[in-house]
């Protein structure tokens, strides 16, 4: 197996894991994959690949649940996110790689810890809360590939159940990742990497769909967050090391 296929196999496995969890819980793709993809491809290319794959798997999951999307909440939330995506792309294009990697790791760790604590904030309720969460998510998605945590925090503060959260999170994933891809462009990957990443995405969609009725959603979500915290810590450490050296 050549180095291109070896790298593609590893990236495809990462995409498969993220896709499975995203299809199952409505979130988690970027939290799982961005730290690893940033280490393998560099933060810029890792983020744009995560944007592409997260948008695609969100669209697959939304096919059966689009009727449960809440337009009154999601339209202002997604609209605010779209407004801040260009700012996130601008920041990502201009920061040195170690600084950006440090930022990716710090954002992931901070967001995961807030979600794990079930953080409550009056500012993240109602229409104003939707706009605030969307603005933060759009910036984070374009700059670090991690736009889901603000949406999760909004859902926690709004008291949504997982059944309510999943289709709305998938809708958010489709819209925000599409805009991020348009803003950042497609990743520059070899044919083997593209092929195996696509295969991982398809396999993850099938696995996640098969597990939907078999795995308790709260348990799956906790696994996502703990795994993401570990990945974020590794990325943060590497970024700090690169900045120091």
Q: Across all residues in the chain, what is the average pLDDT?
A: 82
Range with the largest mean pLDDT of 73-77, 135-139, 215-219: 73-77
Q: How far apart are CA 203 and CA 198, in angstroms?
A: 9
pLDDT tens digits for range 125-155 = 778 888 988 898 888 777 776 777 788 778 8
Q: How far apart are CA 10 and CA 45, in angstroms?
A: 15
At 25, is the pLDDT very low, low, confident or very high (cuts 50, 70, 90)? Answer: confident
Backbone φ and ψ of 125, nearest 5°: -130, 150
* Amino acid 199: pLDDT: 93
Q: Mean pLDDT, to the nearest integer, of 67-93?
A: 87
* Amino acid 203: pLDDT: 93
At 221, is the pLDDT very low, low, confident or very high (cuts 50, 70, 90)? Answer: low
pLDDT tens digits for range 173-208 = 888 888 888 887 888 888 888 999 999 999 998 998
* Amino acid 188: pLDDT: 86
Cα of first residue to Cα of last residue in the chain, in angstroms, is 34
- CA 43 from chain center: how many Å? 14
What is the value of pTM for the model shown? 0.76
């Amino acid at each position: 197996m050549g180095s291109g296929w070896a790298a593609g196999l590893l990236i495809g496995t990462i995409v498969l894991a993220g896709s499975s969890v995203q299809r199952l819980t409505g979130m988690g793709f970027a939290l799982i994959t961005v730290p690893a993809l940033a280490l393998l491809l560099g933060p810029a290319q890792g983020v744009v690949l995560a944007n592409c794959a997260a948008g695609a798997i969100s669209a697959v999951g939304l096919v059966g649940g689009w009727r449960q999307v809440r337009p009154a909440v999601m339209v202002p939330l997604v609209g605010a996110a779209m407004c801040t995506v260009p700012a996130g792309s601008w920041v990502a294009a201009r920061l040195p790689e170690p600084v950006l990697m440090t930022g990716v790791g710090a954002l992931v760790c901070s967001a995961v810890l807030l979600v794990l604590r079930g953080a409550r904030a009056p500012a993240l309720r109602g229409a104003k809360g939707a706009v605030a969460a969307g603005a933060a998510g759009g910036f984070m998605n374009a700059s670090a590939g991690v736009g889901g945590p603000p949406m999760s925090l909004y859902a926690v503060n709004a008291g949504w159940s997982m059944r309510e959260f999943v289709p709305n999170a998938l809708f958010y994933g489709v819209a925000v990742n599409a805009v991020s891809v348009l803003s950042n462009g497609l990743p520059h990957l070899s044919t083997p990497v593209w092929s195996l990443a696509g295969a991982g995405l398809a396999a993850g969609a099938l696995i996640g769909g098969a597990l939907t009725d078999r795995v308790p959603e709260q348990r799956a979500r906790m696994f996502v967050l703990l795994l993401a915290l570990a990945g974020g810590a590794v990325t943060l450490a590497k970024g700090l090391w690169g900045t120091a050296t």
